[in-house]
Amino acid sequence: MALRRRPAVVDAIEHALGKNVARGSVKKLSDETVDKRDLRRYLLRYAHNPESVKAILPFLYHSPLGTGLMPAAGEVKYTLVHQQYRHFEVQTERPKTVTATNRGDISATLVHLYRGGKSPELMSALQHYVEQAAVNLPKFSGQVALVLDASASTRSYGDREYCSLAQSVALKLVLEKCCANLKVHTLGGVGELPMPEGYTDLAGALVDALEDSPDLVAIVSDGYENMYPGDLERVVATLPQLGIHTPIIFCHSKFTALDDLELRRPAANLLQREFWHQDDFEDLLNSLFAIAGAKQTEASLQEFLRQKLTSQEKELATWTTSH
């Protein structure tokens, strides 16, 4: 509960003790010079296992033991260190204020690369973040065709400049690690970091992607079809008449979860998924691979879910073990 429902648990504790008392107690837990009688009087008086409470409370407030500080909201990761608990990392809730660099480490690094140019340090960091993310994501051994929209509209402007494209490229880099057979069809720029340019001919790119008879086609785009508007929808409607039944999914690359997509749905007859944060990749990949319907899909997803369940069970045991 502490791991999965942190805000609710914090609210319950602060309601029971009072906000100032609860937060003051957390600060005192890691300060050896402070008189701990107040802790016993207010925080630990009803605790069945005081040692567990002392370990869990700093985690709830994002305060690593030994610092006595509560980091500001919006930090990406927090680490709880305690002699009775293993080291682990968890991601915080999604940021309330979205910026170009708090939508995941991969896209943040890509935004820096797009805006400031390549550097060995950034390229090394990018590779590290991609590999780190891919380790915990589902894998697929079938053939996937990715239509990557890097047309001029994906550049955007102002605070959002390059953000949509960066998140799309982040997904592409992760798919390259998670798919045994991935072929990328890019609209616009070329290369690992395509620069946004040109028109958005999604229909033409889809036709090219279908030539190799993949198990799945994923169209990753900001949704602005500015060349032959409506052509993608017409092509999709025609495919079954030609005997082509390959699953096609339109993946909306957004800046925030609240983006208005009313004018950014070029094909209402396609399955559609949305993503804006790196944390969305797991659910998105699960959806893509499950829809693919290849023979390898069921076994690979079962293995991924089995590993995830095992990890959760170990995590739960850490919190519930009596000391």
Mean pLDDT of 230-240: 95
Mean pLDDT of 259-287: 94
Q: What is the pLDDT of residues 193-209, one digit of tens each?
A: 999 999 899 999 999 99
- In degrees and rounded to multiples of 5, residue 213 shows phi and psi of 50, 55
CA 149 from chain center: how many Å? 19
For 51, the 3-state DSSP assignment is helix
Q: How far apart are CA 89 and CA 79, in angstroms?
A: 5
3-state secondary structure string, 229-253?
A: CCHHHHHHHHHHHHCCCCCEEEEEE
Q: How far apart are CA 189 and CA 149, in angstroms?
A: 9
Residue 247 pLDDT > 80: yes
The amino acid occupying position 33 is: T
Average per-residue pLDDT for the chain: 81
Residue 116 pLDDT > 50: yes
pLDDT at 81: 28
Contact 108, 116 (CB under 8 A): no
Which residue's structure tokens are 């957390």?
26
Q: How far apart are CA 240 and CA 243, in angstroms?
A: 5
Q: How far apart are CA 89 and CA 150, in angstroms?
A: 34
Q: What is the pLDDT of residues 277-320, one digit of tens each?
A: 999 999 999 989 988 866 666 777 777 777 777 776 776 666 55
Domain ranges of the chain: 6-93, 105-304
pLDDT at 88: 35
Residue 25 pLDDT > 70: yes
Predicted TM-score (pTM) of this structure: 0.68
pLDDT at 204: 94
Q: How far apart are CA 52 and CA 320, in angstroms?
A: 9
User: Class assignment of domain 105-304?
Assistant: alpha beta
pLDDT band at 226 (very low <50, low <70, confident <90, very high): confident
pLDDT band at 123 (very low <50, low <70, confident <90, very high): very high
Mean pLDDT of 114-141: 94
- In degrees and rounded to multiples of 5, residue 206 shows phi and psi of -65, -45
